[in-house]
Structure 1
Amino acid sequence: MLVAHNQKKQLINLLKDDQIEGPFFCPDCRAPLRLRHGKKVRRHFAHITLKDCQGIYASESQEHLGLKALLFTTLSQSEVVSVEERFPDIGQIADLLVNDSLVLEVQCSPLSSDKLKERTQAYHQQGLHVEWLLGEKLWVKRRLRPLHYHFLNFSPWLGFYLWEADLANQELRLKYMIHEQLDGKVVYLEKGVPMRKGMINGLRLPFACRKNCSLSIPLMRNVAAYIQKQLSYGNSKWLKAQEQAYCQGHNLITASDDTFYPQVRLPKVISPLSSNDVAIASYYACFEAYYGQRKPSHQLVVYSPILYWNYDKIRNK
C-alpha cells in the first residue's frame, strides 16, 4: 500500500510526501504498519499482521505497486488524481481516482467473476466509470481465457475492448474490436498509449473516438477438414456441435465453407463491464443480421458497432 495514517491520523502518500515520520497505521483497520523498501522492493507500507484487516493488500505485488505509482505520477502532471481512494459507503478502495469521475483498477492476478462484477457495479452506482488495467499474467495471448470475458468493456466506436498495463515498457495497450475466429483464436486491433504526460487522452479513446473502425480477417478454407480433425481429437465443443447438427439432419464434415460464414463471432460477454446492456444486445443482433445478408467470401471485414446500427436503421425503414 502507498498511503497510511500517521499518529495524528493525517494521510501520508509515499508518492508525493518527501518527509514522513512514523509510526504508521492502516487507514482501514488502524493496525500498525511497517515501511518497507530495498534495492528490488518499491517503498511501501505493509501490515505487521493482516489478521484484523479487511483491506486489499495481502498479496500486492511489486508490479501492482509499480503500476499504481507510475500511473499516479504520470496522470498527476495534468489531472487531479488520488491513489488508494476509499469509498466507505460501498466498501471499495480504488487504485486510482482521476478527476473524481474515472476509476482505474490495476489487476495483476486472477479475480473471481463475482468479485469483479460486485466491484464494478458498486462504482457504477456511485456514478463512476471504471477501467480495469490488466497486468502481465492476465494479458491476452492467442485466445481469450474465461476471465477475459468478464473484463471486456464496450464502446459504440471501438466494440469490445480491454486494457493491458506494461510496467517494463511504461505503456498501456488498448486492445479493441475484439472478435473470435471459428477455431477460437482472438483477433483485434491494438493501440499503445505511453505512460507519459497526456496519457489521459489515450484513456479517453473509448469514449472520445468518433471514427468508424474496421478489421480485415482472412477466413479458413476447407472448414470441414478442420472440424473432422477436431472431432478425432475429442474436442467437446465440436462434438456437441456435430450432435446438434445430426439432430437437425445435417453433418458438419460434409458441409461447405459457406455453411459456416461469417466464421467470426463477437465474444459472448457473460457480465460486461459496461452498464449499457441494451446497446450490447443490439450489437449482437445487428452483427448477425448484417452478415446474414452478405455474400460469403474468403475475407471478412468487421466494423464498429455504430455501422451495424446504422445499417439496421436503413434496412428497417
Structure 2
Amino acid sequence: MYAALNKNEELIYAIEVKTIEEFHCAKCFEPVKLIQKNNTAYFQHLTKKFNEINERDIHKQGKDILVDNFTKLGYDNIKEEQFLTDIKQKPDVLLTDNLVLEYQCAIIDIQKLVKRVEGYQKLQLKNVWILGGDYLSEKILKKHLKFLSYDSNWGFYLIMLDAEKKMYHLFYQVRFLGLFNKITYNKKSFCTDDIDELFKFKSEFKSYPLIKVDHYQIKRIRNLHGVKVDKLKEKFFNRSGQTVEEFLTNKSVNYQKPIYNNHYWRIICGELPRYLEQPFLYKKRES
C-alpha cells in the first residue's frame, strides 16, 4: 500500500513520510504500519491475511481495468491467467497469440523477473509489464529501473496503473544525470478511459545542454573511500598524473542512458561499465 491517512486524515505517500506517527488505511480505516527498507517505503496492515486480501483486490481491480481498456482498443478473445504449459506460467492477461500483459503489484526480485520474462521470450511472446500496488510511486526509484523498456516515441519508459484512482502514469525519457546517476524523467498521466490517448502520445525529444560538475559532487567523491574506490583513484593518478577530483573539477557531462549500475564518475575515470539487469531492454547474453 503506497499511501495512507495520517492523524489529520490527510492522504500521505509512504515515500514522503518524515516522522513516525499513527497511520490508517484510506479504504477501511484500519491501522497500518510504515515499512521502510532498501530505498523502498510502503504501508502494511497489521495482519498478514488482510494484506494478502487487499493486494488481491487491487490486483483484480487492475486486471479488470486492463481487460476493459484493451477490449475498447479492439482486442477480442482476451484471456486472463491462462496457463502456458510449455513455460508453466500464467500471464495476467493474454491479448493475442503473441502479446501478454502483466500487472505487477507485489515486490518481485530480479531473478524471478528475469526468469518470467525469459519464459515469454522463449515462446516469442511480447510482454508488457504495468506497475501497481507496492510499486506505485510519484517518482521513479531504483527499484523501478529493472522494469524499464524502450520505445521510439517515449525513449526509456515505464507505465504505472493506479487501479483505485483509475489513472495511468507514463514516465518517459528516463535518463541518468550527473556523476552519481540521478534519475530524471518526464511524466504524463491519463485517465483509464483515455487509454487510446496514452498510446497515441508522442514525446518531443530535445537536445539537453551539458551539465557542469558542481563543488558538492567533487566533495562527495573526495570523501568516498574503500578498497575498490581507492584502487580506482590510485590507478587513475598513476595513469594521468592528476587526481580524480582535479580531473572532474569544472568538467561538463551529458545525460546518460539509465542502464548502468556503477556511477558515471567511475566510468569516465576508467572503470568498466557494469550494467543493470533489465530484461525488457535486451535478451540474456549467451555465455
The TM-score with structure 2 as length reference comes to: 0.61
Deviations 1:224-260 (A, max 9, x none): 4422145437699976764553343322333455534
- 2:258 is matched with 267
Query: Residues 22-81 of structure 1: CA distance to partner in whole angstroms, max 9, x if unpaired?
Result: xxxxxxxxxxxxxxxxx96xxxxxxxxxxxxxxxx9995322121112222332334222
Match of 2:84 among 87, 94, 98: 87
Which secondary structure does the structure 2 equivalent of 1:122 belong to?
helix
1:251 aligned partner: 243
**Aligned residues of 1:188 and 1:215 also touching (Cα < 8 A):** no
> Residues 78-157 of structure 1: matches in 2 within 5 Å?
78-80=74-76, 81-139=78-136, 144-145=141-142, 147-157=143-153
- Match in the other structure for 2:47: none
Among residues 198, 201, 207, which one is paired with 1:202 in the alignment?
198
RMSD of Structure 2 on Structure 1 (CA): 3.5
Question: How does 1:173-184 map onto structure 2 within 5 Å?
Answer: 173-182=169-178, 183-184=180-181
Q: Which runs of 5+ in 2 are unaligned?
A: 1-26, 29-51, 260-275
Could you tell me how far apart the structure 2 residues matched to 1:176 and 1:89 are? 34
Shift in Å at residue 109 of structure 1?
Answer: 1.9
Change (3 A) 1:247 1:195: farther
1:226-305 matches, cutoff 5 A:
226-232=217-223, 242-248=233-239, 249-255=241-247, 257-262=249-254, 264-268=255-259, 269-275=276-282
Q: CA deviation at 1:189?
A: 1.9
- Find the residue that maps to 1:73 and give its secondary structure: helix
State whether residues 108 and 137 of structure 1, in contact with CA within 8 Å, keep that contact through their aligned partners in structure 2: yes
**Residue 106 of structure 1: CA displacement?**
0.9
Distance 1:224 1:191, change over 3 A: same
Q: Alignment partner of 2:83: what SS?
A: strand
Secondary structure of the equivalent of 1:93?
coil
AA partner of residue 243 (structure 2)? N
Distance 1:236 1:106 in 2: 41
Cα deviation for residue 93 of structure 1 reads 0.6
Counterpart of 1:270, as a letter, is E
Residues 1:66 and 1:188: Cα distance change in structure 2 (over 3 Å):
same
SS at match of 2:280: coil
Give SS of 2:236's match.
helix
Residues 180 and 267, structure 1, Cα contact 8 Å, conserved in 2:
yes
Q: TM-score, normalised by structure 1?
A: 0.56
Q: Deviations over 1:136-171 (max 9, x none)?
A: 4324666641x4332111223432211111123212
Residues 111 and 124 (structure 1), Cα distance of their counterparts in 2 relative to 1, 3 Å cut: same
Classify the secondary structure of the residue corresponding to 1:193.
Answer: strand
1:102 Cα shift?
Answer: 2.3
Give me the whole-angstrom Cα distance separating, in 1, the residues matched to 2:144 and 2:93.
Answer: 22
2:55/2:133 contact within 8 Å kept: no
Residue in structure 2 matched with residue 169 of structure 1 by the alignment: 165
User: Does 1:76 pair with 2:67?
Assistant: no
Q: Between the two proteins, what is the percent identity of the paired residues? A: 22
